[in-house]
Amino acid sequence: MKGRGVQKSCTLDVGGAEHTQGMAARILLDGGAISGRGRTLNPFVIVDDARGFIDFAVRVLGAEEVSEARTPTPSGTLIHAELRIGDALLLLADALPGWTPRPGLFQIWVADVQALVSDAIAHGAALVTPPTPFYGALTLARIEDPWGNLWWCYEPVPGQPDPRPVWEGGSDTVFRTLDEHLRGPGPVA
């Protein structure tokens, strides 16, 4: 593996502080050097009812469970499972007694954000941000699944004009709904 994915480092003096470029290239493995499944970074969540979350992800997100990764205890608690969602790998487990569930915040790219939102709500998710035009010819929606994971759902919409910024009289939906959700007890739409 010598030399694979390695870049030379250089030190820069920026505003009196030294920064090292290339450090990540010396530490991180690229996809071809990883001996297991996944990518350089793979999120891991701990949820109550991992089987239910797997079912939700398969039905709503089109996930595929990596069956050889499923590791139940004799009582049936999942201490490890893996889902392929598009080209990403999501690892998960059931919360064991005394553990606090550790949901995640995820960004997902979809072909039809309204269809995803509708399907997610039909499977118990809550709407946080309705599909809203966003910058860069995108539509953004946010949902919270029944396990507390918050999903930023993006759909490319070529040719869609950027919305007016809120400070120029545009809608505050994108920021306001997230702010209210994160400050409050639950979803606000």
Q: CA 114, CA 102: separation in Å to the nearest integer?
A: 27
Instruction: Tell me what pLDDT residue 41 has.
Output: 85
Scan for tokens 């995108």, then name that residue.
138
Q: CA 161, CA 163: separation in Å to the nearest integer?
A: 6
Q: How open is the CA angle 91-93-95, to the nearest 5 degrees? A: 145
Q: Boundaries of CATH 3.30.720.120 in the chain? A: 36-102
Instruction: Tell me what pLDDT residue 14 has.
Output: 47
Instruction: Tell me what pLDDT residue 20 has.
Output: 52
Instruction: Tell me what pLDDT residue 11 has.
Output: 46
Instruction: Tell me what pLDDT residue 188 has.
Output: 47
Does domain 36-102 correspond to CATH entry 3.10.150.10?
no
Q: Boundaries of CATH 3.30.720.110 in the chain? A: 104-189
CB 115 within 8 A of CB 61: no
Q: CA 185, CA 182: separation in Å to the nearest integer?
A: 8
pLDDT per position as a tens digit, 83-112:
999 999 999 999 999 999 999 999 999 999
Tell me which amino acid residue 7 is: Q
pLDDT per residue of the chain (189 residues) written in tens, 0 to 9 = 344 444 444 444 445 444 555 665 678 777 677 777 888 889 999 999 999 999 999 999 999 999 999 999 999 999 999 999 999 999 999 999 999 999 999 999 999 999 999 999 999 999 999 999 999 999 999 999 999 999 999 999 999 999 988 899 999 999 999 999 999 875 544
Instruction: Tell me what pLDDT residue 67 has.
Output: 96
- Alpha-carbon distances, residue 33 vs 2, 4, 175 (angstroms): 11, 8, 39
Fold (CATH) for 104-189: 3.30.720
Instruction: Tell me what pLDDT residue 120 has.
Output: 98
**pTM beyond 0.85, yes or no:** no
Torsion of CA 6, 7, 12, 17, to 10 degrees: -20
What backbone phi and psi angles, to 5 degrees, belong to 95?
Answer: -75, 130
